[in-house]
Structure 1
Amino acid sequence: MSERDNESEGTALDENQQLGTEAAGNGSGISGPMTADGNGSGISGPMTADGNGSGISGPMTADGNGSGISGPMTADGNGSGISGPMTADGNGSGISGPMTADGNGSGISGPMTADGNGSGISGPMTADGNGSGISGPMTADGNGSGISGPMTADGNGSGISGPMTADGNGSGISGPMTADGNGSGISGPMTADGNGSGISGP
């Protein structure tokens, strides 16, 4: 093989690595910081959240519905086209701006916000599960609950107030920055669970 062929192969590898920052699909593993998981993907690092029972660790990562995600701070749910750094889409929605995320077709704007299923979300670092309106910094909702206060989260309809604690369906949760979805016991700072997974760590 000639030296020129080797250069061509090297260029192709570089392009593939660049394309790794955009991804769509259903059911692959996820890598890179500041991504998030919705339904069952494995995620690692701190400041992560899970939708339906996945184990999550690692910094600020997120996924919608099992899609393959690569590159830093990008995410896709079900086949949507995503471009730019730190954006995320769930099910075909158009998303623009840095560090935003969408679940199922909602329009989202502003930095570091996230939406689950069509809800309108505003403010920095807020998240919504299924259609709830959420405001304030770093708050999250699971299924339609109203949540207020900084860095609180709710799973399925519970009213939650106070800084960075959350409960979903009957679980007792204490300590700062923890969250539960459906009955799981969760401890440790800045962890979140969707449906019964045990999550711990910062």
Structure 2
Amino acid sequence: MPIAESHRRLDHPPSAPDLEVFRSIMQAHNRKLYRIARSIVRNNSDAEDVLQEAYVRAFTHFADFRGDATITTWLARIVINEALGRLRKSRRHRKLTEDMRQSHQAEIIAFPLNSNSSDPEKTMAQRQILDLIERLTDHLPDVYRTVFVLRVIEGLNNEETATLLSLKPETVRTRLHRARHLLKEQLEKQIGPVLLDAFPFAGKRCERLTEAVLARISRDPRDPDGK
């Protein structure tokens, strides 16, 4: 599919679901939406589960997308709602699973670094910085963490973030300022060029989730869960 045609179809999806168009939509949005989900649930596998469920929900309500917002915003809101719902359920059982949850919090994603790096010391430094970014971001208070991910890591502007999170622009600015203060100014200076590799969702993981969603919705587009 030509690039221009692909972008046109992504921006204006048809009212009737089309698996190949939906595959393209997922592949174009997987990384951004995964980061959003993970900023809320703070767990790799939970973030993937959230993303898969959100995509199935989006597919089954594909005709509801009217273009009032961009498709990215529409999908992001579905992901946020799914992630918050999962978080609420998990908090009901927090006392029973606290020890297990704390052990998982120590897990650090093994980031795939740029393959063209031939300097072992530089590669190690990049890995250490990325590990530190993840640990500090995961430990930001909930109200600051998603704002930080969207504004600094995803690169959304203040108005886009406010719209996505249903906040006032001044609230976004305040929360971002507080998040940066908590992460310390010197860290922000160090992480600039490698920040784009944080919270990756590509390669086999991206393809696995895309194929899993397509398999579910291909069984019966009207009822992917077989209910």
- When normalised by structure 2's length, the TM-score is 0.24
Higher strand share: 1
Bigger RCO of structures 1 and 2 (CA < 8 A, at least 6 apart): 2
Q: Which has the larger radius of gyration?
A: 2
